[in-house]
């Protein structure tokens, strides 16, 4: 009990004794007890109120502990890539190559030839509406050189390569000769002339939908096609870190070289073609002519009803060549076969060219420039007419 309380009680006792003595109404002891009880009751109430006030203040003032932020895991450090095999010099020459139309002569006039949109062969090294020509996308020639276990593809362009670009140079492999690409090897334009896996990817088509319903032939647009949809090599990451490489050709400033291992195509023959792409740049959209109708894609041909190019742009591709087997000569999209005029090769040198209607309503037609040994297996709306084999 503090001093102030003791003093109050003493005063109350004194006053009670004094009043009692004067009035004679209550016993002194009772009066003292009542005074002390009242004082203690008030003090207890005051102490309870003070304790409650301090408790309320403590509740208000006590800071709410902050919820700790979840710990951000440290990014895993990728395992270093260790290379066991690096390509050498592509000295051996195989008898397989492709040539392609050179657009540079007519580029300043805003048109070109050689484009065959209906069978997925493009000659479009231009920006939308043909406003800019980019010669480093204009394919001219590609040679395959084989020095097992390496395949080398020397790709030659119409113009000097720039220091940098977003262009992808690709090799499409058809491993079962059904006109559907099975594997695509893609390489960003390299910075130097040393072999590198930087910017190199390999993808495969996991569900055989490259080419849509009719391989190579332009089908109605189908956004459900997944194209080349599975990555099997990414800049050295994969089961084999040495699977594919790229470099600038040290002997030619208009050329790049891509090398890939024999384990990709296996031991059999295959069809192959080359692509240069800085437009759509999307392997998941293959084939491009199954994503856009011809009218929306546009045409690079002068005076064509769909001129100039629109949705499909900055892309060039070659005809389809072969390795490891002898084609029949009627494979759609195949490069021009040079045959001797022997009976087993057509007798008098006659062959077949494929024609089709561009627009059934307008009755316009287009002829595919390749002269095939025999008429290819073509869908309704296409037909063959005689031509002279070279």
Predicted local confidence at residue 379, as pLDDT: 62
Residues 190-220: tens digit of each pLDDT: 999 999 999 999 999 999 999 999 999 999 9
Distance between CA 184 and CA 42 in Å, rounded? 93
Whether 256 and 189 have beta carbons less than 8 Å apart is answered as yes
For 11, phi then psi, to 5°, come to: -65, -45
pTM of the model: 0.74
Residues 89-141: tens digit of each pLDDT: 998 777 788 989 999 999 999 999 999 999 999 999 999 999 999 999 999 99
Whether 240 and 262 have beta carbons less than 8 Å apart is answered as no
Predicted local confidence at residue 79, as pLDDT: 79
Distance between CA 70 and CA 66 in Å, rounded? 12
Ranges of the chain whose pLDDT falls below 70: 1-71, 75, 337-370, 378-381, 389-390
């Amino acid at each position: 009990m503090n001093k102030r309380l003791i003093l109050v009680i003493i005063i109350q006792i004194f006053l009670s004794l004094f009043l009692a003595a004067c009035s004679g109404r209550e016993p002194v002891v009772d009066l003292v007890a009542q005074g002390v009880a009242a004082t203690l009751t008030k003090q207890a109430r005051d102490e309870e109120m003070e304790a409650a006030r301090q408790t309320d203040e403590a509740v208000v003032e006590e800071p709410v502990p902050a919820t700790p932020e979840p710990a951000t895991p440290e990014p895993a450090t990728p395992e270093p890539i260790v290379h066991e095999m690096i390509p050498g010099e592509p000295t051996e020459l195989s008898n397989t190559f492709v040539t392609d139309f050179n657009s540079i002569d007519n580029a300043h006039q805003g048109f070109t030839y050689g484009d065959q949109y209906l069978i997925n062969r493009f000659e479009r090294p231009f920006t939308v509406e043909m406003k800019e020509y980019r010669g480093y996308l204009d394919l001219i020639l590609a040679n395959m050189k084989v020095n097992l276990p390496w395949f080398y593809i020397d790709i030659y362009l119409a113009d000097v390569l720039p220091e940098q670009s977003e262009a992808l140079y690709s090799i499409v492999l058809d491993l079962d000769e059904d006109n559907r690409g099975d594997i695509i090897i893609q390489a960003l334009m390299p910075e130097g002339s040393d072999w590198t896996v930087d910017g190199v990817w390999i993808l495969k088509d996991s569900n055989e939908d490259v080419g849509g319903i009719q391989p190579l032939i332009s089908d109605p647009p189908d956004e459900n096609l997944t194209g080349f949809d599975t990555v099997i090599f990414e800049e050295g990451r994969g089961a084999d870190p040495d699977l594919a490489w790229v470099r600038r050709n040290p002997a030619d400033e208009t050329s790049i070289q891509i090398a890939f291992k024999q384990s990709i195509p296996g031991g059999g023959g295959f069809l192959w073609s080359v692509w240069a792409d800085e437009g759509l740049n999307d392997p998941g959209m293959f084939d491009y002519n199954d994503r856009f109708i011809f009218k929306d894609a546009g045409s690079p041909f002068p005076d064509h009803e769909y001129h100039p190019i629109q949705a499909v742009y900055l892309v060039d591709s070659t005809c389809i060549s072969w390795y490891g087997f002898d084609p029949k000569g009627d494979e759609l999209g195949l490069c021009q076969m040079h045959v001797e005029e022997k009976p087993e090769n057509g007798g008098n040198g006659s062959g077949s060219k494929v024609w089709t209607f561009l627009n059934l309503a307008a009755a316009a037609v287009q002829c595919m420039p390749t002269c095939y040994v025999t008429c290819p297996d073509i869908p309704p709306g296409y037909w063959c007419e005689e031509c002279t084999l070279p």
